Amino acid sequence: MAENPQPARYRPRTDILDLGDAFYDAVPAATFPAHVLRFRNDRAAAEIGITSTDLASAQAGVQSEAEQPAAFDALDSRDSRLRGDMLALSDPDWIDHFGRFVPLPNSLPEPLALRYHGHQFQAYNPDIGDGRGFLFAQVTDHRDRLLDLGTKGSGQTPYSRFGDGRLTLKGGVREVLATEMLEALNAPTSRSFSLIETGEALTRGDEPSPTRSAVLVRLNHSHVRIGTFQRLAYERDAEAMRRLVDYVLTRLYDHMPGSEPAIELFDEAVGRIAALAARFMAAGFVHGVLNTDNINLTGESFDYGPWRFAPTWDAGFTAAYFDHHGLYAYGRQPDAMHWNAMQLAVALRTVVDAPPLIAILETFPERYARAAAEAVLWRLGVRPRGDADDRALADAVTTALATSGMSIDAFYHQAFGGWLPEGEEWAAFEEVRARLSDYRPRSDRSHPYWLDAAPCSMLIDEVETIWAAIADRDDWSLFDAKVAAIRRMGAALT
């Protein structure tokens, strides 16, 4: 959530290839009739050692090729240029790499559609996989983590079934807005890295057609899903399961395997999945499609479709029009994530006995409760006092929001730093007020954002207004202004 980019060295990776080609299929990228760059996340790019040529040329002390570190000697710079430790891309270079998918230097030589299965609305489906996206590159970020650059809308694959492999421009705009908002609200999420309009007219049954097309690139710590494990269990491939367990432990968790690697992995995964559920609830976010193929092992939310932010604390609030039974409603998300964690345990039975997995799975409610308290305190901008007090405060906040009908965003905007205003509309928050009196602020309210009369929110009406300006007039000013406003809020919350 840093307001300014944290520059890093460009360090390409190819770790996924160590798993072997049973985990993916090499695929070609689609050829598009046009490429118009609509969103370029230079903040995220800086963290993986990529900068724009404009930014690079402005840096003091740019190194010549002779002065560049030896690690860059082998880099193929035909499609990009090096500026010191960073890979500097002009907008045309950017489009070549993230719209035409010219390989990044020394990363993956070709796109890889990942293989996986999954429960979709709790019905098992073995006929899925990357149907309109692929893994394009792997890199190391400023925190020394392995990251994936994955796509959405990049063309058909062996798993497209009857789909065209494309993404609507509206879907891309919505994903940028969702990821920017979640990042600002401290929810683990993929980051929208690039959005390029691609000049095709798409037909969709759930929105006015024809509609404009786009290709999105997102930055994730991993695209290894619960469904990745489920496929191996379905195929009873214990050897491949062990390789995948080792990959996740060593490459994603930075953990040297002990005597029971699968149990160690599951223990870590359960904590991450519980924490993600807690962050959703504190953010007032409804993902909409919490299928096992949409839950990754690093605990980051990703692959945004019918998402919404809830205006008030309404347990039955749903995001997807096709979620007829409210399976993934706002208040049911923790249970959905618990169920998904159970499916990972079932898959891991391929290589480990059930009892230790069951024992870990039973810790999910406790881990969720602890993470939920941490998430509420973070959004309140106060320092923890102790487990019992923190949980009591978080429970009081949830009860007051649910009974008062107050806007989730308005409450946290007013309460940040541990202070609540007086007034009849705050009557339901008396217990919250009393408990907050014992807490010290994590951050003050000196940022100008806290002087705003209303919080920065992302409700569906505003999303539709932003899209209407683009669809009707090709006016991107509301979109650009909203991204800037979200990042300003994120700076205030830090």
Active site residues per annotation: 293
191, 207 in Cβ contact below 8 A?
Answer: no
Taking alpha carbons only, the member of 141, 42, 46 closest to residue 84 is: 46
Element (H, E) at 347: helix 333-348
Tokens 């993929």 found at: 190
Residue 293 to residue 289: CA distance in whole angstroms: 10
Rg of the chain (C-alpha set): 23
Which distant-in-sequence residues (6+ apart) come within 8 Å of 153 by Cβ?
132, 133, 165, 166, 167, 168, 171, 172, 198, 213, 214, 215, 216
Taking alpha carbons only, the member of 396, 403, 423, 401 closest to residue 412 is: 401
Cβ neighbourhood burial of 161 (10 Å; 0-12, 13-18, 19+)? exposed
Residue 210 to residue 226: CA distance in whole angstroms: 35
82, 88 in Cβ contact below 8 A?
Answer: yes
Residue 474 to residue 37: CA distance in whole angstroms: 13
> Which tokens in the block code for residue 84?
């010191």
Which distant-in-sequence residues (6+ apart) come within 8 Å of 205 by Cβ?
none
Taking alpha carbons only, the member of 491, 274, 310, 307 closest to residue 398 is: 310
> Within a 10 A sphere around the Cβ of 125, how many other Cβ atoms?
15
Cβ neighbourhood burial of 75 (10 Å; 0-12, 13-18, 19+)? middle
Angle value at C-alpha 29, between 25 and 31, nearest 5 degrees: 155
Taking alpha carbons only, the member of 4, 287, 11, 337 closest to residue 142 is: 11
Using CA atoms in the order 277, 278, 279, 284, what is the torsion angle rounded to 10 degrees? 90
DSSP, res 449: G
